[in-house]
Chains A and B, each alone.
Chain A
Amino acid sequence: MADEILVLVDHTGGQLAPATAELLRVAAGLGTPAAVFLAAGTPPPVEALAALGARRVYAADAPAFAEYLVVPQVAALHSLVQRKQPAAVLVPAYPTGREIAGRLAVRLDSALVTDAVAVERATDGGLVTSQTAFAGSYQLRGRTARGTPVIAVAPHPVVDAPSPPAAGEPVPVEPIELPTEALATAARIVERIEPERSGRPDLQTASAVVTGGRGLGDGERFGLVAELADALGAAVGASRAAVDAGWCDRSLQVGQTGKTVSPQLYLALGISGAIQHRAGMQSSRTIVAINKDPEAPIFSIADLGVVGDLFAIVPELISRIRSAA
């Protein structure tokens, strides 16, 4: 269906990630959204996807999706694109998603755009995309010139269109074939290391994030970051220095080689604000920073900067926030 926009569903064990709703909204602005649900042993959450605007669900259930890296998803999407000839494929821009997008674009000899923050349809049938570059200091406008564009969409894309209405009638579910010969050159997952669950909001989707850097001094005192985060109902993050020191899990790193966040509130404690860190947080709505070095680069982007000793300030701040609640 030439008007169909395939959306690769972002989920963990059938639990939909916020990116799924975002991508379905982007898709609704381009054509008819169709959800592609790939899982090992989980049935597609058809009603939830329909409620988010999917008009059709394509689903594949195979152990391979949990047993091999990237390739099974590419093979499933590739066979689907060949059969359905959609207008575009949207994929969430987390690492595995971008790799799926890259390999799919090679197979389709089609345009690949990563980290698109907005996507529109051009008059010639291609797509017009917006990206940012160099830690948010440039805005790029691009266009896709060939094939079935594969777009890795950044978290929190800008969508002008209203949310698509939920499908009024039951949406059709169609199975996808997974070509098995595809797995001959795939890397096999031999072990999964379960992450610690903190019970705190997810770093990338939280409306507030409190991060700590080298200025926290040691692993024990790094606990202050979580204390402030809990008072604010915020997620915990860290600079690479804090991660390297072993004060918190690597999945909490914000920046170029960690996560990109853009919460309503970003509160940085003892973080200098090196370019590699700023690349992951400069688009936050409001930035507050506490640092004892008045020359710290973080102050050049902070809405409120406090030059001072974080250990003298944060405990009182926590009790003030608690008493305001």
Chain B
Amino acid sequence: MRVLVFVKHVPDASGERGFTPAGTVDRTLPCRLSELDEHAVEQALRLIEQAGTGEVTIATMGPPAAAETLRKALAMGGHAAVHVCDDRLAGTDALGTSLVLAEVARRVGFDLIVCGMASTDAGMSVVPAMLAERLGVPQLSFAAEVTVDLAGQRVRIRREDGRDTVIAEAGLPAVVSVTDQIGEARYPSFKGIMAARKLPLQTWDLAELGIPVDAVGMVHAAAVVESATPEPPRQPGRVVVDDGTAAATIAEFLRERRLLPSSGRN
């Protein structure tokens, strides 16, 4: 089974995050393999372990430093990696990202694509669906559980999107996206880290992918960010240490702010 995992190199949420003057995410600040995409790598590895056969290719579109994200995913257990890197991709919108990733999928080949449920920077939760649309294959997204029946060439998921829980099914090849409910992602072992250094990592630019430069990037973005303004941080309020009167303090605060049910909160 050929599994292709798409992972994104994103600013670390525990550090500083910001935008460049051009309105794109500042990717010079500390970045990492998106936490939610670690679950995608984990799911892919479990599937080939269960099948007892198969290869996991990790792919990303991102700036030069995104190679670190690929190495980390390889260290978790991936077999090969593809890095789409081209300065002209800066500012690419979701339409352009899905165009590039779909072309990567066609070239690498796949029985199953596994994505995260959302990138932790843009947080759109759309790329997996857009990939399925472009590739003309079924979309099984927001999976909290994935099972593949290799003999029958079918994939089944439990979709939990916060509103509905359904069991859904389709034939392979397909695109899956997984939530953080599939379970903890493994840590790379020391052996894995050493082995990852020797695994093949190909770097492709737009020319190698056969994508015209005017089909992607800021120049062709259909959705353009014109300005990014920091919001004034929320003013911290009052912090009190409970001396036995905290319940009264809270009740009084809620009454003053008209937040009690009897005060017409709406």
Spell out A's residues near B (CB within 8 Å): 69-71, 74, 94-96, 98-99, 101-103, 105-107, 109-115, 129, 132-147, 149, 185-193, 195, 207-208, 232-233, 240, 250-251, 253, 256-259, 264-265, 275-276, 282, 286-288, 290, 294, 299-309, 312-314, 316-317, 320-321, 324-325
Interchain CB contact under 8 A, B130 and A105: yes
The listed residue (B126, B140, B165, B266) touching A98 by CB distance below 8 A is B126
Asked, given contacts A185-B136, A192-B166, A207-B266, whether A142 binds B238 with beta carbons under 8 Å apart, the answer is no
Give Cα A94–Cα B141 distance, bound, in whole angstroms: 13
Q: Which residues in B have their C-beta under 8 angstroms from that of A71?
A: 139
B94 within 8 A of A: yes
Within the complex, the shortest CB–CB distance from A153 to chain B, in Å, comes to 14
| Closest A residue, CB atoms, query B180 | A257
B230: CB under 8 A from chain A?
yes
Instruction: Output the nearest chain B residue to A146 by Cβ-Cβ distance.
Output: B222
- Name B209-266 residues within 8 Å CB distance of A: 221-231, 233-234, 236-242, 246-251, 253-255, 257, 259-262, 265-266
Cross-chain contact of A320 among B95, B161, B248 (Cβ < 8 A) = B248
Residues of B within 8 A of A146 (CB): 222
Residues of B within 8 A of A250 (CB): 144, 160, 162, 181
Q: Which residue of A lies closest to B240 (CB)?
A: A306
B residues with a Cβ closer than 8 A to A are: 11, 13-14, 17-19, 23, 36, 93-95, 98, 117-118, 120-121, 123-127, 129-130, 132-134, 136-142, 144, 156, 158-170, 174, 179-181, 221-231, 233-234, 236-242, 246-251, 253-255, 257, 259-262, 265-266
Complex Cα spacing A195 to B160, Å: 11
Question: Which of B163, B169, B259, B265 is within 8 Å of A96, CB to CB?
Answer: B163
Chain B residues whose C-beta falls within 8 Å of the C-beta of A325 in the assembled complex: 260-262
Are B142 and A95 in contact (CB-based, < 8 A)? yes
Known A140-B227, A317-B250; 20 more pairs at CB < 8 Å? A70-B129, A70-B139, A102-B133, A107-B133, A114-B94, A134-B121, A142-B226, A145-B224, A149-B223, A189-B167, A250-B162, A259-B162, A264-B265, A265-B254, A282-B234, A304-B249, A304-B250, A317-B251, A320-B247, A324-B255
Distance to closest chain A CB from B250 (angstroms): 6
Task: List 7 contacting pairs A-B, 8 Å CB cutoff, sorted by A.
Answer: A74-B133, A99-B129, A111-B223, A139-B229, A185-B136, A193-B167, A290-B246
Q: Provide the residues of chain A in CB contact with B19, threshold 8 Å.
A: 133, 138
Bound state CA distance, A302 and B127, in angstroms?
34
Report Cα–Cα, A96/B129, bound state, in Å. Answer: 10
Listed from nearest, the 4 A-B pairs whose CB atoms lie closest are: A308-B242, A102-B126, A316-B247, A303-B237
The residues of A that contact B118 with a CB separation of less than 8 Å are: 256-257
Q: How far is the CA of A289 from the CA of B225 in the complex (A)?
A: 35
Closest to A188 in B: B169
- Which residue from chain B places its CB closest to the CB of A195 in the assembled complex? B165
* Across-interface contacts of B162 in A (CB, < 8 A): 94-95, 250-251, 253, 258-259
In the complex where A69-B168, A302-B237, A320-B247 touch, is A138 in contact with B231 (Cβ < 8 A)? yes
Distance, CA A317 to CA B248, complexed state (A): 7
B260 touches A188 (CB 8 A): no
- Is the beta-carbon distance between A137 and B137 smaller than 8 angstroms? no
Q: Is the CB of B163 within 8 A of A136?
A: no
Shortest distance from the beta carbon of B18 to any chain A beta carbon, whole Å: 8
Chain A contact surface mostly: mixed
Inter-subunit contact B130/A143 (CB<8 Å): no
Chain A minimum-CB-distance residue to B244? A312
A308 adjacent to B246 (CB under 8 Å): yes
A250 to B240, alpha carbons, bound, how many Å? Answer: 32
Query: Are A324 and B260 interface neighbours, CB within 8 A?
Result: yes
Distance (whole angstroms) from the CB of A178 to the closest CB of chain B:
17
- Contact partners of B36 in chain A: CB under 8 A: 257
Shortest distance in angstroms between A212's beta carbon and chain B's nearest beta carbon? 16
Q: Is the CB of B229 within 8 A of A110?
A: no
The reply to whether A305 and B240 form a contact with Cβ atoms under 8 Å apart is: yes
Whether A95 and B139, one on each chain, are in contact in the complex, defined by CB atoms closer than 8 angstroms, is no
A237, B104: Cα distance in complex, Å: 40
Flag if B166 contacts A185 (CB, 8 Å). Answer: no
State whether B261 touches A69 (Cβ < 8 A). no
Q: Say whether A106 contacts B163, CB under 8 Å.
A: no
Contacts of A129 in B (CB 8 A): 223
B231 touches A112 (CB 8 A): no
Neighbouring B residues of A109 by C-beta, 8 Å: 95, 222
- Among A102, A208, A251, A309: residue with most chain B CB under 10 A: A102
A324 B237 Cβ-Cβ under 8 A:
no
- Expressed in whole angstroms, the Cα–Cα distance for A134 and B254 within the complex equals 29
Q: Which residues of B contact A103 (CB under 8 A)?
A: 129-130, 132-133, 139
Contact of B93 among A112, A232, A294, A321 (CB under 8 A): A112
B236–A300 CB distance below 8 A: yes
CB pair B94 A187 closer than 8 Å = no
Shortest Cβ distance from B233 into A: residue: A137
Q: Whole-angstrom distance between the alpha carbons of A124 and B49 in the complex?
A: 54
From residue B214, how far is it (CB to closest CB) to chain A in Å? Answer: 13
**With known contacts A139-B231, A185-B138, A306–B123 Cβ distance under 8 A:** no
